[in-house]
Structure 1
Amino acid sequence: MKNKTSRTNSMKLKKVIAASLAVFILFAFTGCKTSSGSATTESSKQEDTSTTDSSSSGDLNEKLNDLYQQENQIFADHKDVWDKAFGFMSKNIDDDTKNENYADFLANIIESNKDSFSEEEYATLSKDIETIRGIEEEIAKLEKEIAATDSSSSSSSGTDDSTGVFHGFKGKDLDGNDVDESLFAKNKVTVVNFWFSGCKPCVEELSKLNELNDTIKEMGGEVVGINTDTLDNNQDGIKEAKEILKAKGASYKNLTFDSDSTVGKYAGNIMAFPTTVLVDKDGNIVGEPFMGGIDDQSNYEQLMKQIQSILDQE
């Protein structure tokens, strides 16, 4: 497996994007207000403040990204054993782990599957996790500083949550055809599945997702895949994704888009793969993200209930 398609890319590298730009998502639709009597003066002040804050935030983000790269290097140095560990990840995610400290999250994954590792592998993972724990403490401090800096420069901002990340969507399918938010407008519900090529549970559910697509098309819905290795029109990632989809008999639409777009940043925040969200015809995410492969029948039935609940509201 290439480094680009390893969990280094699919969790931590995405976390780089998410952490450094998370506050931007919250203020993506910032408004600018000035009083009629002092518009020029206030505008000038806002511009000066914005420049200063942008510089400060940029320095903090640079430090933050450096810390994430340190974590990435840990995963790269012991790639084989971490790839093995990440293979257990989707089976160990529940509501309690979503907001868990990252080092604790990794530790729980390892402990839950301790018997699957040799003594040497277990020792390596445990040592790496303690190093990551120290890095995460530094990351937490920087994230607070970034949030404070960005908040101080957004006094006139509006707010936007993750439900509207597909508003104004623009991207392409894996054949290079343009796709926009009209994709969602034509469906009563769109099932969006986030995956990556090196994720075994993701790949295993592709054929079942294709079956789901055939089923819900008759109900006014559609399944759409987003392989995070293909973002930014990554041709190597696109080629590999298409080969995997073909091998699994999955013909439903898969999309690529810029990683610095709003939905790209949302993808960067995903903790575990595969993750599936339901999107209504207005481009809003409805309900909580669904984690775990639907090749498991109980997961499939649970997802179908969520889909049906949205269809019943139409």
Structure 2
Amino acid sequence: MNAKKILALLLGAMMLLSLAACGAKDDKAADMNGNNTVMTGEAKNAEEALAMHKELMAQENALLSENAELWEKVFMAADKGMTMQEDGKNYGDFLLKTIEDAEEEFSDEEYEWLKESATEISNIENKLTELEEKYPEIMQKSMDGDMSMPAGSDTSTPPDDGSMQKFPAFEGKDLDGNTVKSDELFSANAVTVVNFWFTTCNPCVGELSELDALNKELAEKGGSLIGVNTFTLDGDETAISEAKDVLAKKGATYQNVYFDSDGEAGKFTTNIFAYPTTYVVDRNGNIVGEPIVGAITEKKQAETLQKLIEQALAADVG
């Protein structure tokens, strides 16, 4: 796997979805600099809570983008050393453990900076969890407002001219080594749901069982669901083994595929900056509607996905 290419895409915004889902139960949120009113203040109503939630997530992204190359080393260490984040675990604590386990890979200065940053991320997540527990309606609103694509990237959203965007062609393999060609895959199904995920993304792992159930439902309607674990691109054997282990633990038996990171589909993947993200593709390989950002365990995402599936099925019959 081209780890640098795949993992670099996580740095800017991978936390947009995983932050809220990976919060800890501890509600302490200490400010590391002693002057952060967002961390120490209390929201008086849902409107204030929403503004605070957005600001905290912006702080998180700022921390992760401040020293991208150093964080990339952390994510590479996580890819090699940790297969799956436990449900409900604070993501800052996950990062901190990864940093501590890979201490020898960093200079003393780098190690201290990373530890301090990971601790602050942990504190931010604690505060996010506190806000979400008190105002559960704010989480999706905050994410909807902050979800964005990098400047100049338009490959993961449909064109504005009303035409259908093609899902990028690929010839790859599934996790058992069987050859998979996109044109044959899509043409064989009335609708194909394509779910992008990675192994240490808690919301991604959390929806695997639901995705497996959806795949069984789609099979009865002439459709199917496939997964694309971004860590497995280029056929990385360790990542494939870890992905298969996570899928097995969640009882997910639907097909997962990988392809070359420098191909059309690989370049498409590097422009996905929020996980999980799910696409609906029709029999002709066209993307139906817009990508669904966020786990389908959330009501809004589940309803949107179902509408797009029904749209594709209706068009296939017509």
User: TM-score w.r.t. structure 1 length?
Assistant: 0.56
Match of 2:36 in 1: none
- In the TM superposition, what whole-angstrom CA distance separates every residue of 1:157-202 from its partner, at most 9, and x where no partner exists? xxxx9922433x2000001110002011100110000000010000
Q: Secondary structure at the match of 2:269?
A: helix
Q: Contact 1:277 / 1:288 at 8 angstroms: preserved in 2?
A: yes
8 A Cα contact 1:165 1:262, kept in partner: no
Instruction: Call closer, same or farther: CA 1:162–1:175 in 2, change over 3 Å.
Output: farther
Could you say if the C-alpha distance between residues 216 and 74 of structure 1 is closer, same or farther in structure 2, counting changes exceeding 3 Å?
Answer: closer
Instruction: Give the aligned partner of residue 174 of structure 2.
Output: 173
Residues 298 and 13 of structure 1: CA distance in aligned 2, closer, same or farther (over 3 Å): closer
How many residue pairs align between the two structures?
A: 200
SS in 1 for 2:185: helix
Q: 1:186 to 1:255 in 2, by over 3 A?
A: same
More helix by share: 1
- Matched with 2:148 is 99
RMSD of aligned Cα (Å): 3.5
CA distance in 2, matches of 1:255, 1:264: 12
**Aligned counterpart, 2:301:** 299
Contact 1:171-1:257 within 8 A present in 2 as well: yes
Match of 1:186 in 2: 188
**Structure 1 counterpart of 2:185, one-letter code:** L
**What's the counterpart of residue 107 of structure 1?**
none
2:10 — aligned with what?
11
8 Å CA contact 1:193, 1:277 repeated in 2:
yes
1:274 to 273, 276, 281: 276
Write the mapping of 1:283-298 to structure 2, written as runs, cut at 5 A: 283-298=285-300
User: SS at the partner of 2:146?
Assistant: coil
**What SS does the corresponding residue of 1:253 show, helix, strand or coil?**
coil
Q: What CA distance in whole angstroms lies between the structure 1 residues aligned with 2:177 and 2:206?
A: 25
Q: Which amino acid letter does the alignment assign opposite residue 179 of structure 1?
A: V
Tell me which of 68, 71, 94 is aligned to 1:71. 68
What secondary structure, in the 3-state scheme, does the structure 1 residue paired with 2:253 have?
coil
Question: Structure 1 234/86 Cα, relative in aligned 2: closer, same or farther at 3 Å?
Answer: farther
Structure 1: state its 5+ residue gaps: 16-67, 103-139, 145-160
Identity %: 40
Q: How does 1:163-242 map to 2 (within 5 A)?
A: 163-167=165-169, 169-181=170-182, 182-242=184-244
Q: CA contact under 8 A between 2:167 and 2:281: conserved in structure 1?
A: no
Decide whether aligned partners of structure 1 residues 230 and 308 sit closer, same or farther in structure 2, where only a CA change above 3 A counts: same
CA distance in 1 between counterparts of 2:221 and 2:208 reads: 20
